[in-house]
Amino acid sequence: MRVRKVFWLVVLLVLLFFARPLWEEKASEYVDVSFLESIDEMIEQVAGNPSITKAVDQAKEFTADIGGQLQTFVGQSSAEMPEQVDKPELEGTESLVAIHNITLGMSKEEAQTIVGLPLRLMRNEYGTDWHSYHQDYQNYMLLSYNDKGQVNGMFTNQDLISSTKGITMASDREAVRAAFGKPLKSLQKGNVQYILDTRNEYDMFKVNHLYITVFYDIHEENTVTAIQVIDEKLEAKRPDIYAEPDKELKEGYEFLLFELTNSARIQRELPLLKWDETARGTGRKHSQDMAENDYFSHTNLAGQSPFDRMGDDGITFFVAGENLAYGQYNSIFAHEGLMNSAGHRENIVKRDFGYLGIGVAYNSENQPYYTENFFNR
């Protein structure tokens, strides 16, 4: 019995050790993997102990047998295109809109049997978290859950939409309005009526208990580029048009804008960008400067350009660029607005870029300022 326990312990250690090249780089984006050094030392000690050499050899054979399966699970390098997954069908559901066959009210357990486990949680303006699901940004979608574990919010900017109204990513603004009716011109929050400054780049509809926001790509004949569906009870929890900022919300906005950027890139068969923490710091300082001093410009009050500020923070690059956004309700609206601006869109889809850091800050009215710093070294 003791030998069997030792064997399986060795299997786990050796599996972790030999599979390390497959997942270490991806995991290092999210957690500190320095703890693996002690595991490396343990593996070396185990391998040098004659009393369990046989167990080590058996463990190596075991890990070799499942190596191909592990490679499939971990996925390809972030710089490579993952395999395209077919769009699911609605499968007879009576719901008005489904995203990847998921509808509002579905349980978390049922939803995650379809999409798997989330890769990141990001605080949103509703006080819940966006759970991010994708395969190297293919089939990208966000889900929010209520305190009963039911889906109360959904978003996607990829071809995962099913609708009893026949709306798809190929639909244009006129078709969407014909399906969902007249879009809202304002949104009531408490005693304040907020006018929606859509600029014809998106429509928000109230259909039964749903708030449906449809975003359009003005560079592609106003076809649908993204859709968000929010339960009215969740929308009611947002007391103002702008959320009260805190550390979690700031980080949630930053990482969400990063994910949306990569989701846009993968659809255009472009290499994925890597997160850069130093560039986030550069972006945060510029966003904070603009928010505190009430200006909006790539050149700060000291006359520094984005390249000056990045250089001052020790970022070396052979190509770099910066996107700014201000006043949007959240990162989804900010990203869609940037994609509808030719110059900003060019940065988002520029093949030469390899890294991105995003910094968010808020002014006294809780309006977010976004600074995206793109570069490659």
Q: Both 118 and 154 in a single domain?
A: yes
Pair (3, 59) in one structural domain? yes
Q: What percent of the chain has pLDDT over 90?
A: 73
Instruction: Say if residue 269's pLDDT is above 50.
Output: yes
108 and 232 both lie in a single domain: yes
Do 143 and 218 meet the contact criterion of CB atoms below 8 Å apart?
A: no
223 and 103 housed in the same domain = yes
Q: Does residue 88 belong to any structural domain of this protein?
A: no
Q: Are residues 292 and 369 in the same domain?
A: yes
Phi-psi region of 138 (alpha: psi -120 to 50; beta: other; left: phi over 0): beta
- Band (pLDDT 50/70/90 cuts) for residue 190 is confident
Q: Residue 190: helix, strand or coil by DSSP?
A: coil
Residue 87 placed within a domain: no
Collect all residues with Cβ–Cβ distance below 8 Å to 193 and sequence separation of at least 6. Answer: 186, 187
pLDDT, residue 123, reads 98
Residue 323 falls within a domain, yes or no? yes
The predicted pLDDT at position 86 comes to 52
DSSP state of 52: G
- Copy the structure tokens of residue 63: 């890990």
Structural contact between residues 230 and 208, judged by C-beta atoms closer than 8 angstroms = no
- Whole-structure pTM over 0.85, yes or no? no
Q: What range defines the domain where residue 263 resides?
A: 247-376
**82 domain-assigned:** no
Nearest to 15 by CA among 39, 49, 41: 39
Q: Is 50 exceeded by the pLDDT of residue 218?
A: yes
